Structure 1
Amino acid sequence: MAPLELPPRTRQIAECIERDATSRRLFHQGRHTQALERRRELAHRFYKMWENGELPDPHYGGALSHYVPLLWVNSLWPGACLTQDEWSAMFDDAGYSIDGEPADPPEDIGDESWILYRGTATRNGRPTWGFPDRRDIAAAEYGWCWTSSLSGAVTWAREHARSQAGAAGWAVFEAAMPCDAVLATLEVDCTTLDICDTRRLSARPRLVLKGQA
Protein backbone atom coordinates (compact mmCIF):
# COMPACT_ATOMS: atom_id res chain seq x y z
CA MET A 1 0.00 0.00 0.00
CA ALA A 2 1.41 3.39 -0.97
CA PRO A 3 1.47 5.92 1.86
CA LEU A 4 -1.26 8.53 1.92
CA GLU A 5 -0.57 11.62 -0.18
CA LEU A 6 0.65 14.30 2.19
CA PRO A 7 -0.29 17.98 2.16
CA PRO A 8 2.29 20.03 0.18
CA ARG A 9 4.10 21.54 3.19
CA THR A 10 4.24 18.22 5.02
CA ARG A 11 5.34 16.41 1.86
CA GLN A 12 8.19 18.89 1.44
CA ILE A 13 9.52 18.06 4.91
CA ALA A 14 9.04 14.32 4.30
CA GLU A 15 10.98 14.53 1.03
CA CYS A 16 13.77 16.34 2.85
CA ILE A 17 13.92 13.48 5.33
CA GLU A 18 14.15 10.88 2.54
CA ARG A 19 16.51 12.73 0.21
CA ASP A 20 18.56 14.94 2.48
CA ALA A 21 21.87 14.73 0.69
CA THR A 22 23.20 17.77 2.56
CA SER A 23 23.31 16.01 5.93
CA ARG A 24 24.92 12.91 4.42
CA ARG A 25 27.57 15.01 2.70
CA LEU A 26 28.34 16.92 5.90
CA PHE A 27 28.55 13.67 7.87
CA HIS A 28 30.93 12.00 5.42
CA GLN A 29 33.08 15.15 5.44
CA GLY A 30 33.46 14.69 9.19
CA ARG A 31 31.29 17.73 9.92
CA HIS A 32 29.11 15.77 12.33
CA THR A 33 27.86 18.74 14.33
CA GLN A 34 26.52 20.51 11.23
CA ALA A 35 24.94 17.28 9.94
CA LEU A 36 23.24 16.68 13.27
CA GLU A 37 21.94 20.25 13.44
CA ARG A 38 20.28 19.87 10.05
CA ARG A 39 18.68 16.55 10.98
CA ARG A 40 17.57 17.98 14.32
CA GLU A 41 15.85 20.84 12.50
CA LEU A 42 14.02 18.44 10.16
CA ALA A 43 12.94 16.19 13.03
CA HIS A 44 11.70 19.14 15.07
CA ARG A 45 9.73 20.58 12.15
CA PHE A 46 8.10 17.23 11.47
CA TYR A 47 7.28 16.76 15.16
CA LYS A 48 5.68 20.21 15.39
CA MET A 49 3.52 19.41 12.35
CA TRP A 50 2.37 16.22 14.04
CA GLU A 51 1.81 18.00 17.36
CA ASN A 52 -0.23 20.75 15.68
CA GLY A 53 -2.43 18.27 13.80
CA GLU A 54 -1.05 19.14 10.36
CA LEU A 55 -0.42 15.51 9.40
CA PRO A 56 -3.13 13.26 7.95
CA ASP A 57 -4.97 10.67 10.01
CA PRO A 58 -2.26 8.06 10.75
CA HIS A 59 -4.83 5.27 10.49
CA TYR A 60 -5.81 6.20 6.93
CA GLY A 61 -3.28 5.20 4.31
CA GLY A 62 -0.37 4.65 6.69
CA ALA A 63 1.41 7.95 6.10
CA LEU A 64 2.59 8.36 9.68
CA SER A 65 3.56 4.67 9.88
CA HIS A 66 5.76 5.28 6.85
CA TYR A 67 7.43 8.55 7.79
CA VAL A 68 8.03 8.27 11.55
CA PRO A 69 10.34 5.19 11.32
CA LEU A 70 12.00 6.80 8.28
CA LEU A 71 12.59 9.97 10.25
CA TRP A 72 14.07 7.94 13.11
CA VAL A 73 16.48 5.96 10.92
CA ASN A 74 17.63 9.07 9.04
CA SER A 75 18.15 11.25 12.12
CA LEU A 76 21.79 10.16 12.60
CA TRP A 77 21.43 10.42 16.41
CA PRO A 78 17.67 10.27 17.10
CA GLY A 79 18.06 10.93 20.83
CA ALA A 80 19.79 14.22 20.07
CA CYS A 81 17.00 15.32 17.72
CA LEU A 82 13.89 14.73 19.85
CA THR A 83 13.26 13.54 23.40
CA GLN A 84 12.20 10.01 24.23
CA ASP A 85 8.70 11.25 25.08
CA GLU A 86 8.39 13.00 21.71
CA TRP A 87 9.54 9.97 19.73
CA SER A 88 7.38 7.60 21.75
CA ALA A 89 4.27 9.75 21.31
CA MET A 90 4.67 9.84 17.53
CA PHE A 91 5.37 6.10 17.27
CA ASP A 92 2.37 5.28 19.46
CA ASP A 93 0.15 7.49 17.31
CA ALA A 94 1.44 5.91 14.10
CA GLY A 95 0.99 2.36 15.38
CA TYR A 96 3.27 -0.60 14.79
CA SER A 97 4.65 -0.99 11.27
CA ILE A 98 6.95 -3.26 9.29
CA ASP A 99 9.09 -1.52 6.67
CA GLY A 100 6.78 1.47 6.79
CA GLU A 101 3.56 -0.51 6.32
CA PRO A 102 0.94 -0.69 9.11
CA ALA A 103 0.98 -4.17 10.67
CA ASP A 104 -0.55 -6.10 13.54
CA PRO A 105 1.48 -5.40 16.70
CA PRO A 106 3.66 -8.16 18.14
CA GLU A 107 2.11 -10.51 20.65
CA ASP A 108 3.71 -12.30 23.57
CA ILE A 109 4.05 -16.00 22.80
CA GLY A 110 5.88 -17.12 25.93
CA ASP A 111 8.95 -16.41 27.98
CA GLU A 112 11.30 -16.93 25.06
CA SER A 113 9.64 -14.42 22.73
CA TRP A 114 11.24 -11.17 21.59
CA ILE A 115 14.78 -11.77 22.74
CA LEU A 116 16.60 -8.91 21.04
CA TYR A 117 20.21 -7.74 20.80
CA ARG A 118 21.90 -4.36 20.63
CA GLY A 119 25.46 -3.65 19.52
CA THR A 120 27.37 -0.52 20.49
CA ALA A 121 30.85 0.91 20.63
CA THR A 122 32.48 1.41 24.04
CA ARG A 123 34.97 3.84 25.51
CA ASN A 124 36.88 2.90 28.69
CA GLY A 125 34.62 -0.09 29.07
CA ARG A 126 31.41 1.98 28.95
CA PRO A 127 29.01 2.43 26.03
CA THR A 128 29.65 5.63 24.10
CA TRP A 129 26.12 6.77 23.40
CA GLY A 130 22.77 7.11 25.09
CA PHE A 131 19.78 9.41 25.18
CA PRO A 132 20.81 12.86 26.49
CA ASP A 133 17.68 12.90 28.66
CA ARG A 134 18.61 9.57 30.28
CA ARG A 135 21.81 10.61 32.04
CA ASP A 136 20.82 8.74 35.17
CA ILE A 137 21.55 5.56 33.24
CA ALA A 138 24.00 7.01 30.70
CA ALA A 139 24.34 3.69 28.93
CA ALA A 140 23.84 2.73 25.32
CA GLU A 141 22.17 -0.53 26.26
CA TYR A 142 19.10 1.67 26.73
CA GLY A 143 19.25 2.93 23.15
CA TRP A 144 16.26 2.13 20.95
CA CYS A 145 17.80 0.23 18.02
CA TRP A 146 17.70 -3.56 18.49
CA THR A 147 17.70 -6.68 16.33
CA SER A 148 16.70 -10.32 16.65
CA SER A 149 20.01 -11.26 14.97
CA LEU A 150 22.93 -11.74 17.35
CA SER A 151 25.38 -11.83 14.44
CA GLY A 152 23.85 -8.62 13.07
CA ALA A 153 24.33 -6.90 16.44
CA VAL A 154 27.97 -8.05 16.59
CA THR A 155 28.63 -6.78 13.06
CA TRP A 156 27.08 -3.41 13.85
CA ALA A 157 29.01 -3.10 17.12
CA ARG A 158 32.34 -3.87 15.48
CA GLU A 159 31.73 -1.47 12.58
CA HIS A 160 30.60 1.24 14.98
CA ALA A 161 33.72 0.76 17.10
CA ARG A 162 35.98 1.04 14.05
CA SER A 163 34.28 4.19 12.74
CA GLN A 164 33.77 6.13 15.98
CA ALA A 165 36.64 8.29 17.19
CA GLY A 166 37.78 7.40 20.69
CA ALA A 167 36.06 4.01 20.77
CA ALA A 168 38.11 1.43 22.66
CA GLY A 169 35.95 -1.61 21.94
CA TRP A 170 32.47 -2.92 21.34
CA ALA A 171 29.71 -4.63 23.30
CA VAL A 172 26.48 -6.52 22.60
CA PHE A 173 23.54 -6.54 25.01
CA GLU A 174 20.54 -8.89 25.23
CA ALA A 175 17.05 -7.99 26.45
CA ALA A 176 13.70 -9.74 26.80
CA MET A 177 11.71 -6.97 25.15
CA PRO A 178 8.02 -6.53 26.07
CA CYS A 179 5.89 -6.55 22.95
CA ASP A 180 4.43 -3.14 23.71
CA ALA A 181 7.97 -1.75 23.66
CA VAL A 182 8.51 -2.73 20.00
CA LEU A 183 7.44 0.37 18.05
CA ALA A 184 8.44 -0.51 14.49
CA THR A 185 10.46 -3.04 12.49
CA LEU A 186 12.62 -2.15 9.49
CA GLU A 187 15.08 -3.83 7.15
CA VAL A 188 18.31 -1.79 7.27
CA ASP A 189 21.50 -2.90 5.53
CA CYS A 190 20.21 -6.49 5.27
CA THR A 191 19.52 -6.63 9.03
CA THR A 192 16.11 -6.54 10.68
CA LEU A 193 16.02 -3.53 12.99
CA ASP A 194 13.48 -3.24 15.80
CA ILE A 195 12.92 0.24 17.24
CA CYS A 196 12.08 -0.27 20.92
CA ASP A 197 11.13 2.04 23.77
CA THR A 198 13.48 0.60 26.37
CA ARG A 199 11.83 2.57 29.17
CA ARG A 200 9.24 -0.22 29.09
CA LEU A 201 11.79 -2.91 29.99
CA SER A 202 11.27 -4.61 33.33
CA ALA A 203 14.93 -5.67 33.66
CA ARG A 204 18.21 -4.09 32.62
CA PRO A 205 19.73 -5.48 29.39
CA ARG A 206 22.44 -8.09 29.92
CA LEU A 207 25.96 -7.86 28.48
CA VAL A 208 26.56 -10.99 26.37
CA LEU A 209 29.63 -10.22 24.24
CA LYS A 210 32.41 -7.64 24.10
CA GLY A 211 35.69 -7.07 22.29
CA GLN A 212 38.41 -4.63 21.34
CA ALA A 213 38.07 -2.12 18.53
Structure 2
Amino acid sequence: MEEAYEYLRANFEITEADWEIIASKMVEKRFKKKDILLAPGEQENLLSFLSKGMLRFFIPTEEDKDNDITYDFMFEKKFFSADESFLTRTPSLYGIEALSDIILYQFTYDDLQDIYKKTGTADRIGRIAHERLFLERSHRLYTFLRFSAKERYENLLKENPTLIQEIPQKYIASYLGITPQALSRIRRQIY
Protein backbone atom coordinates (compact mmCIF):
# COMPACT_ATOMS: atom_id res chain seq x y z
CA MET A 1 0.00 0.00 0.00
CA GLU A 2 3.05 2.20 0.28
CA GLU A 3 2.87 3.03 -3.46
CA ALA A 4 -0.64 4.43 -3.06
CA TYR A 5 0.45 6.55 -0.11
CA GLU A 6 3.50 7.89 -1.96
CA TYR A 7 1.37 8.70 -5.02
CA LEU A 8 -1.18 10.59 -2.93
CA ARG A 9 1.48 12.35 -0.87
CA ALA A 10 3.44 13.43 -3.95
CA ASN A 11 0.44 14.55 -6.00
CA PHE A 12 -2.06 15.81 -3.42
CA GLU A 13 -0.24 16.66 -0.17
CA ILE A 14 -2.36 14.24 1.84
CA THR A 15 -2.16 14.34 5.62
CA GLU A 16 -1.14 11.33 7.68
CA ALA A 17 -4.54 11.33 9.40
CA ASP A 18 -6.41 11.28 6.08
CA TRP A 19 -4.13 8.53 4.79
CA GLU A 20 -4.96 6.36 7.80
CA ILE A 21 -8.67 6.68 7.03
CA ILE A 22 -8.13 5.87 3.32
CA ALA A 23 -5.76 2.97 4.05
CA SER A 24 -8.23 1.44 6.52
CA LYS A 25 -10.69 0.98 3.63
CA MET A 26 -8.24 -0.42 1.05
CA VAL A 27 -8.06 -4.12 0.26
CA GLU A 28 -5.23 -5.71 -1.74
CA LYS A 29 -6.26 -7.84 -4.72
CA ARG A 30 -4.12 -9.75 -7.22
CA PHE A 31 -5.09 -10.79 -10.72
CA LYS A 32 -3.38 -12.86 -13.38
CA LYS A 33 -2.64 -11.82 -16.94
CA LYS A 34 -5.83 -12.00 -19.09
CA ASP A 35 -8.17 -11.91 -16.07
CA ILE A 36 -11.24 -9.76 -16.66
CA LEU A 37 -11.58 -7.29 -13.78
CA LEU A 38 -14.88 -5.93 -15.06
CA ALA A 39 -17.00 -7.36 -17.86
CA PRO A 40 -19.06 -5.06 -20.09
CA GLY A 41 -22.55 -4.80 -18.62
CA GLU A 42 -21.43 -5.24 -15.00
CA GLN A 43 -21.74 -2.33 -12.60
CA GLU A 44 -18.43 -0.95 -11.35
CA ASN A 45 -18.35 -0.82 -7.57
CA LEU A 46 -14.61 -0.44 -6.99
CA LEU A 47 -12.10 2.36 -7.17
CA SER A 48 -8.65 0.82 -7.57
CA PHE A 49 -5.03 1.89 -7.37
CA LEU A 50 -2.87 -0.03 -9.84
CA SER A 51 0.27 -0.79 -7.87
CA LYS A 52 1.87 -3.24 -10.29
CA GLY A 53 1.11 -4.22 -13.89
CA MET A 54 -0.95 -2.86 -16.76
CA LEU A 55 -4.57 -2.92 -17.88
CA ARG A 56 -6.59 -2.63 -21.06
CA PHE A 57 -10.00 -0.97 -21.36
CA PHE A 58 -12.09 -2.48 -24.15
CA ILE A 59 -15.47 -2.19 -25.84
CA PRO A 60 -17.03 -5.40 -27.17
CA THR A 61 -18.13 -5.58 -30.79
CA GLU A 62 -21.31 -7.38 -31.73
CA GLU A 63 -19.94 -8.63 -35.05
CA ASP A 64 -16.83 -10.40 -33.77
CA LYS A 65 -16.36 -11.18 -30.09
CA ASP A 66 -12.62 -11.82 -30.64
CA ASN A 67 -12.03 -8.35 -32.12
CA ASP A 68 -13.15 -5.94 -29.45
CA ILE A 69 -12.02 -2.32 -29.48
CA THR A 70 -9.17 -1.28 -27.19
CA TYR A 71 -9.73 2.31 -26.23
CA ASP A 72 -7.28 2.84 -23.38
CA PHE A 73 -4.40 1.40 -21.38
CA MET A 74 -3.54 1.95 -17.74
CA PHE A 75 -0.10 1.68 -16.20
CA GLU A 76 1.23 1.48 -12.65
CA LYS A 77 0.76 4.10 -9.98
CA LYS A 78 -2.65 5.42 -10.95
CA PHE A 79 -6.21 5.20 -9.69
CA PHE A 80 -8.84 3.85 -12.07
CA SER A 81 -12.38 2.54 -12.38
CA ALA A 82 -15.01 2.24 -15.06
CA ASP A 83 -15.81 5.85 -14.21
CA GLU A 84 -19.18 6.27 -15.86
CA SER A 85 -20.51 3.12 -14.22
CA PHE A 86 -18.91 3.90 -10.87
CA LEU A 87 -20.26 7.45 -10.71
CA THR A 88 -23.75 6.82 -12.13
CA ARG A 89 -24.24 3.36 -10.55
CA THR A 90 -25.21 1.89 -13.95
CA PRO A 91 -23.84 -1.04 -16.01
CA SER A 92 -20.48 -0.42 -17.64
CA LEU A 93 -20.32 0.00 -21.41
CA TYR A 94 -16.78 -1.39 -21.45
CA GLY A 95 -14.60 -3.99 -19.78
CA ILE A 96 -11.24 -3.99 -18.06
CA GLU A 97 -8.65 -6.73 -18.63
CA ALA A 98 -5.28 -7.43 -17.00
CA LEU A 99 -2.48 -7.35 -19.59
CA SER A 100 -0.02 -8.66 -17.02
CA ASP A 101 -0.15 -10.01 -13.49
CA ILE A 102 -1.35 -7.09 -11.39
CA ILE A 103 -1.61 -5.91 -7.81
CA LEU A 104 -4.42 -3.52 -6.88
CA TYR A 105 -5.52 -1.68 -3.77
CA GLN A 106 -9.28 -1.21 -3.89
CA PHE A 107 -12.18 0.26 -2.01
CA THR A 108 -15.89 0.24 -2.71
CA TYR A 109 -18.16 3.06 -3.77
CA ASP A 110 -19.71 3.13 -0.28
CA ASP A 111 -16.26 3.20 1.33
CA LEU A 112 -15.32 6.14 -0.89
CA GLN A 113 -18.41 8.05 0.23
CA ASP A 114 -17.39 7.36 3.84
CA ILE A 115 -13.83 8.54 3.11
CA TYR A 116 -15.24 11.76 1.64
CA LYS A 117 -17.17 12.39 4.87
CA LYS A 118 -14.28 11.64 7.22
CA THR A 119 -11.31 13.32 5.54
CA GLY A 120 -10.37 16.85 4.73
CA THR A 121 -8.60 16.13 1.44
CA ALA A 122 -10.39 13.23 -0.28
CA ASP A 123 -12.98 15.43 -2.02
CA ARG A 124 -10.19 17.54 -3.49
CA ILE A 125 -8.21 14.44 -4.51
CA GLY A 126 -11.28 13.01 -6.28
CA ARG A 127 -11.96 16.27 -8.09
CA ILE A 128 -8.37 16.70 -9.25
CA ALA A 129 -8.07 13.05 -10.29
CA HIS A 130 -11.22 13.32 -12.41
CA GLU A 131 -10.03 16.59 -13.92
CA ARG A 132 -6.77 14.91 -14.94
CA LEU A 133 -8.66 11.97 -16.42
CA PHE A 134 -10.89 14.36 -18.37
CA LEU A 135 -7.82 16.15 -19.76
CA GLU A 136 -6.16 12.86 -20.75
CA ARG A 137 -9.28 11.72 -22.59
CA SER A 138 -9.72 15.11 -24.26
CA HIS A 139 -6.12 14.94 -25.47
CA ARG A 140 -6.68 11.42 -26.81
CA LEU A 141 -9.77 12.56 -28.73
CA TYR A 142 -7.85 15.53 -30.13
CA THR A 143 -4.99 13.33 -31.35
CA PHE A 144 -7.48 11.00 -33.03
CA LEU A 145 -9.03 13.88 -34.90
CA ARG A 146 -5.83 15.76 -35.64
CA PHE A 147 -3.11 13.19 -36.42
CA SER A 148 -2.64 10.34 -38.87
CA ALA A 149 -2.29 6.76 -37.65
CA LYS A 150 1.47 6.94 -38.25
CA GLU A 151 1.75 10.14 -36.19
CA ARG A 152 -0.37 8.61 -33.40
CA TYR A 153 1.93 5.57 -33.35
CA GLU A 154 5.05 7.74 -33.27
CA ASN A 155 3.58 9.73 -30.37
CA LEU A 156 2.83 6.46 -28.59
CA LEU A 157 6.45 5.41 -29.05
CA LYS A 158 7.64 8.65 -27.46
CA GLU A 159 5.14 8.70 -24.61
CA ASN A 160 4.97 4.99 -23.74
CA PRO A 161 7.93 2.91 -24.90
CA THR A 162 6.89 0.18 -22.44
CA LEU A 163 3.48 0.02 -24.05
CA ILE A 164 4.89 -0.83 -27.45
CA GLN A 165 7.16 -3.59 -26.12
CA GLU A 166 4.77 -5.40 -23.78
CA ILE A 167 1.31 -5.11 -25.32
CA PRO A 168 0.11 -7.38 -28.13
CA GLN A 169 0.14 -5.63 -31.49
CA LYS A 170 -3.55 -6.30 -32.13
CA TYR A 171 -4.43 -4.21 -29.06
CA ILE A 172 -2.13 -1.39 -30.10
CA ALA A 173 -3.64 -1.42 -33.60
CA SER A 174 -7.15 -1.30 -32.15
CA TYR A 175 -6.13 1.55 -29.82
CA LEU A 176 -4.82 3.47 -32.83
CA GLY A 177 -7.98 2.78 -34.83
CA ILE A 178 -6.24 0.72 -37.53
CA THR A 179 -5.88 -2.92 -38.53
CA PRO A 180 -2.91 -5.03 -37.41
CA GLN A 181 -1.77 -5.12 -41.06
CA ALA A 182 -1.76 -1.31 -41.25
CA LEU A 183 0.25 -1.21 -38.01
CA SER A 184 2.79 -3.61 -39.51
CA ARG A 185 3.18 -1.29 -42.53
CA ILE A 186 3.66 1.73 -40.27
CA ARG A 187 6.24 -0.13 -38.19
CA ARG A 188 8.19 -1.11 -41.32
CA GLN A 189 8.28 2.56 -42.38
CA ILE A 190 9.63 3.64 -38.99
CA TYR A 191 12.16 0.88 -38.28
The structure carrying a bigger helix percent of its residues is 2
Structure with the greater relative contact order (CA < 8 A, sep ≥ 6): 1 or 2?
A: 2
TM-score past 0.5 threshold? no
Q: TM-score, normalised by structure 1?
A: 0.27
